[in-house]
Amino acid sequence: MSTKVYYIEGDGIGPEVWAAGRPVLDAAVEKAYGGARALEWVELLAGEKAYRETGSHLPDETMNALRGAALAMKGPLTTPVGKGFRSLNVTLRQVLDLYACIRPIRYFEGVQSPVKRPQDVDMIVFRENTEDVYAGIEYAAGTPEARKLIAFLRDELGARVDEAAGVGVKPMTAKGSKRLVRKALRFALDHGKPSVTLSHKGNIMKHTEGAFRAWGYEVAAEEFAESVMTEDEAKAGGSRPVIIKDRIADAMFQNVLMYPRDYSVIATTNLNGDYISDALAAQVGGLGLAPGVNMSDGLAFFEPTHGTAPTIAGQDKANPGSLILSGAMLLEHAGMPEAAALIHAAVNRVISQKRVTVDLAGQIEGATVVGCREFGELLGAGL
Ligand code: NAI
């Protein structure tokens, strides 16, 4: 049986990390299932390669294929400057309604970390990807738009806003919040995770962040009553597989440092999610190996979390680990957890042998630097 995966090579280091990483993914599937399963890779054009070949950074054929796709994976894409849109990544997320940004954070033995017990971190962040202050509704101080909005807030709503302020709007809906929390709860249940924590700043922003919390608990009660319980219900002796709890975002940052074992799946709003994903990645030793996926209801679009790294592109220095681990997430998602487990074991093995790309070598004492291609080969051999 073959599983179709659309892929976009990406710009900068994209071609190198694909060349090093794709054989590892294919080999893991081959090793786990013999010839019974395989990945069928179908290339789609986007970014600079697409522009060179078609004159468009995001050709219609690519978007049409992605609209009907279930699985896709991309390398990093350069944000073209002054080409009429903000970013290809943002365009893809918006047009495909990739509303959940999901990032697992786990520790790999041997990588230096700023905390004492990085191995206690095993979390997965579900970040809402379409709403919140990221909606792009903001006006610079002193502009006619800002003045108009401030006048409305003052005159019609009696709000106290300084006339000289820059202003932004933070829209959040029940639909947007609930579908994110629903995905997080579903994931926790399907993967045997013990808890989902709603992280929010609802004590201050009651009708946005606070509403996120309320909507989150609502989804749990309305749709997962059989399998999810609150902390209070758990204390009262309840026994259901998943606990839903909530923490104020600032406390959450303290708690993941001090009591990491208490947290597993984290469901959170767009801005909080941006911060906590990177903070947790740093807690286990940096962003070099962090994988990710953006999901709609139909499409899971996997990608490494780094950018195009233009200063090292074409030099065989890039670390393909983030792409390979994104591929492992894809394999898990596509029902091939045995192949994903082989990859995780290989990453552990190669890191413990201390033969790594230059970025990781800086974080591993006594490490020998290898190139992108060789790192991929070592991982392939370590499966
Ligand atoms: P970046 O992630 O490309 O680079 C930041 C630093 O990390 C650089 O020092 C780079 O050399 C290093 N680095 C990144 N990936 C690496 C890897 N795999 N191995 C070794 N070192 C690595 O971020 P930056 O410089 O802010 O962005 C460069 C371009 O990438 C921009 O055009 C940006 O818009 C784009 N970008 C695209 C993303 C995506 O497609 N999802 C995400 C982030 C940035």
Q: Residue 233 phi/psi, 5° resolution?
A: -65, -35
| C-alpha 251 – ligand 1 centre gap (Å) | 30
pLDDT at 90: 84
Which of 134, 170, 183, 317 is flagged as catalytic? 134
Lowest mean pLDDT among 161-165, 278-282, 286-290: 286-290
pLDDT over threshold 90, residue 247: yes
Which of 11, 246, 274, 359 is flagged as catalytic? 274
The token duo for 299 is 């499409």
Q: What is the DSSP letter of 71?
A: E
| C-alpha 305 – ligand 1 centre gap (Å) | 8
**Nearest C-alpha neighbor of 313 from the set 153, 66, 59, 78:** 78
Residue 170 annotated to the active site: no
| Contact present, 189 and 227 (Cβ < 8 Å) | yes
pLDDT at 47: 95
Q: What is the DSSP string of 118-175?
A: GGG-EEEEEEE-SSGGGG--EE-TTSHHHHHHHHHHHHTT-----TT--EE-----HH
User: Can you state the angle between helices 372-381 and 321-333, rounded to 10 degrees?
Assistant: 40
pLDDT tens by residue, 169-223: 999 999 999 999 999 999 999 999 999 999 999 999 999 999 999 999 999 999 9
User: Can you state the angle between helices 249-258 and 270-283, rounded to 10 degrees?
Assistant: 20
Residue 250 annotated to the active site: yes
pLDDT over threshold 60, residue 260: yes
Atom of ligand 1 nearest to the CA of 303: 41
pLDDT at 85: 56
- Best residue for ligand 1 mutational test, from 308, 316, 364, 373 (most atoms within 8 Å of Cβ): 308
pLDDT at 82: 60
**DSSP H helices in the chain:** 14-33, 47-54, 60-67, 88-95, 144-155, 174-190, 209-223, 231-235, 249-258, 270-283, 321-333, 337-352, 358-361, 372-381
| C-alpha 324 – ligand 1 centre gap (Å) | 16
Atom of ligand 1 nearest to the CA of 76: 40
- DSSP SS3 for 29: helix
Residue 122 annotated to the active site: no
pLDDT tens by residue, 225-241: 999 999 999 999 999 99
The mean per-residue pLDDT over the stretch 99-121 comes to: 93
pLDDT tens by residue, 302-361: 999 999 999 999 999 999 999 999 999 999 999 999 999 999 999 999 999 999 999 999
**Nearest C-alpha neighbor of 228 from the set 213, 240, 212:** 240
- Best residue for ligand 1 mutational test, from 81, 89, 302, 306 (most atoms within 8 Å of Cβ): 306
pTM for the model: 0.94
Integer Cα distance of 79 and 86 in angstroms: 7
Integer Cα distance of 258 and 250 in angstroms: 13
The token duo for 381 is 């051999």
- Residues having CB closer than 6 A to ligand 1 are 13, 17, 76-79, 89, 303, 306-312, 318-319, 322, 357, 359
Which of 162, 232, 250, 297 is flagged as catalytic? 250
pLDDT at 86: 66
Atom of ligand 1 nearest to the CA of 88: 40
pLDDT over threshold 60, residue 83: no
Atom of ligand 1 nearest to the CA of 77: 40
Integer Cα distance of 319 and 370 in angstroms: 10
Integer Cα distance of 267 and 262 in angstroms: 14
Helix (H) or strand (E) segment spanning residue 242: strand 242-248
6: exposed, middle or buried (Cβ count in 10 Å: 0-12, 13-18, 19+): buried
pLDDT at 281: 92
Which of 170, 178, 193, 201 is flagged as catalytic? 201
The mean per-residue pLDDT over the stretch 56-77 comes to: 96
| C-alpha 263 – ligand 1 centre gap (Å) | 29
Atom of ligand 1 nearest to the CA of 372: 19
| C-alpha 308 – ligand 1 centre gap (Å) | 4
- Nearest CA owner, ligand 1 atom 34: 79
pLDDT at 343: 97
| C-alpha 148 – ligand 1 centre gap (Å) | 38
| C-alpha 121 – ligand 1 centre gap (Å) | 24
- Nearest CA owner, ligand 1 atom 32: 78
Residue 162 annotated to the active site: no
Counting residues of the chain whose pLDDT is more than 70, the rounded percentage is: 98
Atom of ligand 1 nearest to the CA of 321: 18
pLDDT at 252: 97
CB atoms within 10 A of CB 60: 9
134 or 293, which is more confident? 293
Instruction: Give the N- to C-terminal CA distance of the chain in Å, as an integer.
Output: 21
pLDDT at 135: 83
Average confidence score pLDDT of the chain = 95
The token duo for 92 is 């893809």
